[in-house]
Amino acid sequence: MYRYDDFDRQLVAERTTQFRDQVARRLSGELTEDQFKPLRLMNGVYLQLHAYMLRIAVPYGTMNGNQMRMLGHIARTYDKGYGHFTTRQNIQFNWPKLNEIPDALEDLATVEMHAIQTSGNCIRNTTTDQYAGAAADEIEDPRPYCELIRQWSTFHPEFTYLPRKFKIAVTGSPNDRAAVRVHDIGLRMHKNDAGETGFEVIVGGGLGRTPFVGKTVRDFIGKNDLFSYLEAILRVYNRFGRRDNKYKARIKILVHEVGVEEISRLVEEEWAKIKDGSLRVSDDEIAQYIAQFAPPAFEELRDNDPEFERRKQAHPDFAAWVRSNVIAHKQPGYAIANISLKPIGGIPGDATAEQMELVGDLADQYSFGDVRVTHEQNLVLPHVKKAELFALWAELKNAGLATANLGFVTDIIACPGLDYCALATARSIPLSQRISERFGDLDRQYDIGELKIKISGCINACGHHHVGHIGILGLDKRGKEFYQITLGGDASQDASIGKIAGAGFSEAEVVDAIEALITRYIDIRNVGERFIDTYRRVGMDPFKEVLYGDR
Amino acid sequence: MSLQVVTANRLDDGLAVFMTADEGWSTDIRQAICAGDAEQAEALLARANTQKQQITVVGPYLIDVANEDGVLVPIKYREILRTLGPSVRPDLGYQAG
Among A41, A49, A434, the residue to mutate for chain B (most B Cβ within 10 A): A49
Confidence of residue A537 (pLDDT cuts 50, 70, 90): very high
Q: pLDDT averaged over chain A?
A: 97
Q: What angle do CA A303, A305, A308 make, to 5 degrees?
A: 130
A419–B contact, CB cutoff 8 A: yes
**How many Cα atoms within 13 Å fall on the side-chain side of residue A151?**
19
pLDDT tier at B1, thresholds 50, 70, 90:
confident
What gap in Å lies between CA A394 and CA A408, rounded to an integer?
Answer: 22
Task: Please give the angle made by the CA atoms of A430, A338 and A182, to the nearest 5 degrees.
Answer: 70
d(CA A340, CA A411): 8
Q: Which of B12, B58, B82 sits opposite A49 (nearest CB)?
A: B82
Q: Which pLDDT value is given to residue A551? A: 65
The answer to whether B81 and A419 have CB atoms below 8 angstroms apart is: yes
- Cα A302 to Cα A386: distance, rounded to the nearest angstrom: 10
pLDDT single digits (tens) A493-517? 999 999 999 999 999 999 999 999 9
Q: State residue A67's pLDDT score.
A: 98
| A&B contacts, CB < 8 Å | 73
Q: Write down the domain spans for chain B.
A: 3-96
Q: What is the pLDDT of residue B35?
A: 97
Residue A488 CB partners (closer than 8 Å, separation 6+): A469, A496, A498, A499, A532, A535, A536, A540
- Has this prediction a pTM greater than 0.90? yes
B81 with A33: Cβ contact below 8 A: no
Confidence of residue A456 (pLDDT cuts 50, 70, 90): very high
Count CB-CB contacts under 10 A for residue A541: 7
How high is the pLDDT of residue B97? Answer: 81
Q: Is the pLDDT score of A550 beyond 90?
A: no
In degrees, rounded to 5, the angle at the alpha carbon of residue A294 between the alpha carbons of residues A293 and A295 is 115
Which contacts qualify for A544-547: CB closer than 8 Å, 24 or more apart?
A: A544/A501, A544/A502, A545/A520, A546/A516, A546/A517, A546/A519, A546/A520, A547/A485, A547/A501, A547/A502, A547/A513, A547/A516, A547/A517
Decide if A229 contacts A219 (C-beta within 8 A).
no
Give me the percent of chain A exceeding a pLDDT of 70.
100
Work out the minimum CA distance from B72 to partner chain A, whole angstroms.
Answer: 18
Contact yes or no for B16 and A418 at CB 8 A: no
pLDDT in tens, A116-173: 999 999 999 999 999 999 999 999 999 999 999 999 999 999 999 999 999 999 999 9
Tell me which residue in B14, B54, B81 faces A47 most closely, judged by beta carbons: B14
CB contact (8 A) between residue B88 and residue A433 = yes
Question: Does A1 have pLDDT greater than 90?
Answer: no
B10-37 pLDDT tens trace: 999 999 999 999 999 999 999 999 999 9
How many other CB atoms are found less than 10 A from the CB of residue A28? Answer: 9
For position A2, what pLDDT does the model report?
82
Residue of A nearest to B90 (CA): A419
CA distance B13 to chain A (A): 4
Q: What structural domains and CATH numbers belong to chain A?
A: 6-109 (3.90.480.20), 142-292 (3.30.413.10), 306-398 (3.90.480.20), 413-548 (3.30.413.10)
Task: Give the span between the Cα atoms of A310 and A390, in whole angstroms.
Answer: 10
A260-274 and A226-240 helices, crossing angle to 10°: 120
Chain A residues with beta carbon closer than 8 angstroms to that of B63: none
The yes-or-no verdict on residue A395 having pLDDT over 70 is: yes
Segment A415-422 shows an average pLDDT of: 98
Of A28, A50, A430, the CB nearest to B88: A430
Q: Is A420 on the interface with B (CB under 8 A)?
A: yes
Cβ–Cβ below 8 Å for B88 and A479: no
